[in-house]
Amino acid sequence: MKITVIGAGNVGATAAQRIADKELANEVVLIDVVEGMPQGKGLDMYESAPVEGSDTHVIGANSYDATANSDIVVITAGIARKPGMSRDDLQATNAGIVKSVTEQAAAHSPNAILIVVSNPLDVMTYVAWKVSKFPRHRVMGMAGVLDSARFRAFISMELNVSVEDITAFVLGGHGDSMVPLPRYSTVAGIPLPDLMDQATIDRLVKRTRDGGIEIVNFLKTGSAYYAPSSSAVQMVEAIVKDKKRILPSAVMLGGEYGMKDVVVGVPIKIGKKGMEEIIQIKLTADEQAALNKSATDVKASIAKLNI
């Protein structure tokens, strides 16, 4: 098993470290355009292997030749939104970056499964799918796993119970239009509405929607990377171990949930082939309307692309 992580920033480097520590691959390749940075971080990670007891070989490189024949490619490349930068500006810049790295990754690893982490997530997943020309089951975006993890963390804080007993579902786009589903969120099998009132649920849902910006506001000059990297690696592990995990992920829809030609977060089964099935759950009229709105927002953003 060979796994490439594109982008040696905080998210990419932390993801590479987690993959190595879990021994999910024989080789991890960390790629970045900055000369020396992926090589230095890769060497540093490999020197931690004797302590961690991992035989995963980590290397850093600037050339995509080192990525040849990767089984999985995790794309974290892109810039963070800067003060004064509009979402459209961010999208245009990152679309160009994701287009470039996807072209090179796909050329060197034509049979790989792509996991996209770059923002804006749903649109960048569309870019990777469009540019790679891979079938949709081999291109997935990491968003729902992260948003669900945040929802679970906030539920755990509220109820003072173990995160292990909490299951949560968040669908839709990654951002303001995400669709948390309290009805399908449980604590040891008990539906969330049976454990807290609607006002509390609404407060936790809002905090989940604002989960990324809450961290940005604390850090001032950076954004989240521990939880995003963990979430991406959970998807990697589901593929490597053929676990058949049901995880909310951003994928191209072909009629599911009444939607086509748009990337949006839905529950999928992840195994060695990538996305092995889209799970269609019953939604209330309000939930479906919220998901439709989320998809409409993503479609509007996709329409602005120039690829």
Q: List active site positions.
A: 174
The three-state secondary structure class of 148 is helix
Determine how many CB atoms are found less than 10 A away from the CB of residue 193: 12
Cα–Cα dist 119/40, whole Å = 25
* Matching residue, tokens 């939880």: 227
Choose among 239, 240, 252: nearest CA to 278: 252
User: Could you give the 3-state DSSP secondary structure of residue 182?
Assistant: helix
Q: Is the dihedral of CA 264, 229, 19, 39 positive or negative?
A: positive
Distance of CA 65 to the CA centre of its chain: 25
Q: For residue 113, what are the CA distances in angstroms to 4, 26, 49, 199? A: 10, 17, 26, 41
Amino acid at 11: V
In the numeric block, the tokens 């020309």 are attached to 133
CA 133 to CA 130: how far, in whole Å? 5
Tell me whether residue 136 is exposed, middle or buried, using C-beta atoms within 10 angstroms of its C-beta: 0 to 12, 13 to 18, 19 or more: middle
Specify the DSSP class assigned to residue 181.
-
Three-state SS across 75-133? ECCCCCCCCCCCHHHHHHHHHHHHHHHHHHHHHHCCCCEEEECCCCHHHHHHHHHHHHC
